[in-house]
Amino acid sequence: MNHTYHFPPHIPVLYHEVIRWMQPKDGGVYVDGTVGAGGHAKGILTASAPAGKLLGLDLDPNALELASHHLEEFRDRIRLVSASYHTIPEQLIQTGWGQADGILLDLGVSSLQLDRPERGFSFQFEGPLDMRFNPQAGLSAKDLINNLEENELADLIWRYGQERKSRKIAKAICRSRPIATTQELSDIIQKAVGRYEPRLHPATRTFQALRIAVNRELDVLAEALPNAVKSLAPGGRLLIITFHSLEDRLVKDFFHRESRDCICPPTQPICTCQHQATLKKLTAKPVCPSEEEIKQNPRSRSAHLRVAMKKLA
**Model confidence pLDDT, tens digit, residues 274-293:** 889 999 999 999 999 999 99
What is the predicted pLDDT for the residue at 115? 66
In total, how many domains does the chain have? 2
pLDDT at 307: 98
Whether 47 contacts 116, CB under 8 Å = no
Q: Is residue 102 part of a domain?
A: yes
Tell me, what's the pLDDT at 120?
Answer: 72
User: For residue 256, is pLDDT > 70?
Assistant: yes
Confidence of residue 10 (pLDDT cuts 50, 70, 90): low
Burial of residue 282 (CB within 10 Å: 0-12, 13-18, 19+) is middle
For the sheet containing 279-281, what is the strand order? Answer: 78-82, 53-58, 29-32, 100-106, 232-242, 304-310, 279-281
Residue where a domain stops, chosen among 191, 215, 239: 215
Domain shared by 144 and 229, yes or no: no
- Whether the link from the prior residue into 178 is cis, omega within 30° of 0, is yes
Q: Specify the CATH number for the domain of residue 125.
A: 1.10.150.170
Q: Is 144 helix (H, G, I), strand (E, B) or coil?
A: helix
Q: Is the pLDDT at 313 greater than 80, yes or no?
A: no
> For residue 88, which amino acid is it?
I
Which tens digit of pLDDT belongs to each residue from 87-142?
999 999 999 999 999 999 999 777 667 767 778 778 888 999 999 988 888 899 99
CA gap 160, 171 in Å, rounded: 17
pTM here is 0.90
Q: Does residue 21 sit in the same domain as residue 99? A: yes
pLDDT for 267 beyond 90 = no
Cα(311)–Cα(13) distance, integer angstroms = 27
Helices vs. strands in the chain: H and E counts, helices first? 13, 7
Question: Within 10 A of 99 (CB to CB), how many other CB atoms are there?
Answer: 16
Domain range for 173 is 118-215
What are the CA-CA distances from residue 250 to residues 29, 76, 126, 300 (Å)? 26, 36, 33, 20
Residue 277 lies in a domain: yes
Mean pLDDT over 303-308 rounds to 98
